[in-house]
Structure 1
Amino acid sequence: MKSIININQANLPTRIIENEKGFEAKVNRLGPMIGAKQLGCSIVEVPSGKKAWPKHSHSVNEEMFLILSGDGTLHYGDNSQPVSEGDLISCPADIETAHQIENTGAEPLRYIALSTLKDPEICHYPDSGKYGFYDNLGDNGKEPFKVLARKEDGLDYYDGE
């Protein structure tokens, strides 16, 4: 396994995210390629008018984004602001830091996404009222676990006991 790759020359495996709700992206996961265990790193390319993921916040993991090319809008908490090449964005773990990057430009928006990879993780999705519980999402060889729900769908603590 290499500890260095050139992202402009490497043949990178690509995961396609696409659905009918306006989410679309090409994602190249780089961390596993260079042996990273507790730090995630991906190149994300989002077509014009699209978003890669729903607006969300993390309870445990921090994220950071470096805009490589294109123009977009960062939705962060209750605010939105333009982003472009060279912008570095920090999203600390906190329910108040719900964030989303939207490509509002004419060209593809490319950015590097960095994240800590601590398990377990709870994400909050304010636009849909969901939360997600995630465990074993890194490349640790264990079966990933995730549950998505809404608070009102929850069970009583003693249910089934």
Structure 2
Amino acid sequence: MSSTRRHPHVVNVAEIPQTVAEKGTRFAFRRRQLSAESGGEQLGCSHMELPPGKTAWAHHFHCANEEAIFVIAGSGLLRVGDAEVRVGPGDYVALPAGPGAAHQLRNDGAEPLQYLALSTMLPTDITVYPDSGKVGLFAGAAPGGPKERRYLAGFTARPEGGAWFDGERVDG
């Protein structure tokens, strides 16, 4: 594929800069933000890759934004609500806003888990982390949206304060 764009709204996943994140032995991912690179504003889509044994984010739900997952390759264990569900290629997961769809996807396979993470991009959202009791606040841009548009963002909104990973299992 040529690096010359055919159209400003058409991108190829291989040409998008990759973000690599890692925290402890449990959290790690590679992400390519498809919507941001193609001019999307109200619908977010990222190509995600989880290495074996890793998860991208702590168990959480959104109060405003709806999410979805479409598995491309690999397999994983999806914790959604009170259930654990095995997912693999071709599986689509709807994650409406609210506590009933609290979720976390973990790659428990031997190969990288690749999926599309889709979401609405409402600029004001509250993210709740039921395991640790933390709350994330966003205003001006949705989680995953352009940080330069945000005028409020924080994961320390719990009574005793603390950082985003405080209270989360990052190892084991």
TM-score by length of 1: 0.87
20, 23, 38: which is aligned to 2:42? 38
Please show how residues 75-94 of structure 1 align to structure 2 within 5 Å.
75-94=79-98
Contact 1:129/1:150 (<8 A) preserved: no
Instruction: Give percent identity, aligned residues only.
Output: 38
Rg larger for: 1
Are positions 1:102 and 2:106 aligned together? yes
Distance 1:75 1:35, change over 3 A: same
Please show how residues 1-161 of structure 1 align to structure 2 within 5 Å.
2-7=8-13, 10-137=14-141, 138-139=145-146, 141-149=148-156, 151-153=158-160
In 2: Cα distance, 1:104 partner to 1:15 partner: 22
Gaps of 5+ in 1: 155-161
Other structure's SS at 1:153 match: coil
Other structure's SS at 1:113 match: strand
User: As a proportion of its length, which structure holds more strand?
Assistant: 1
TM-score by length of 2: 0.82
Shift of 1:148: 1.9
Shift of 1:144: 4.9
User: What is the total number of aligned residue pairs between the two structures?
Assistant: 152
AA in 2 matched with 1:100? Q
Gaps of 5+ in 2: 1-6, 162-172
CA RMSD of aligned residues (A): 1.7
Other structure's SS at 1:149 match: coil
Other structure's SS at 2:149 match: coil
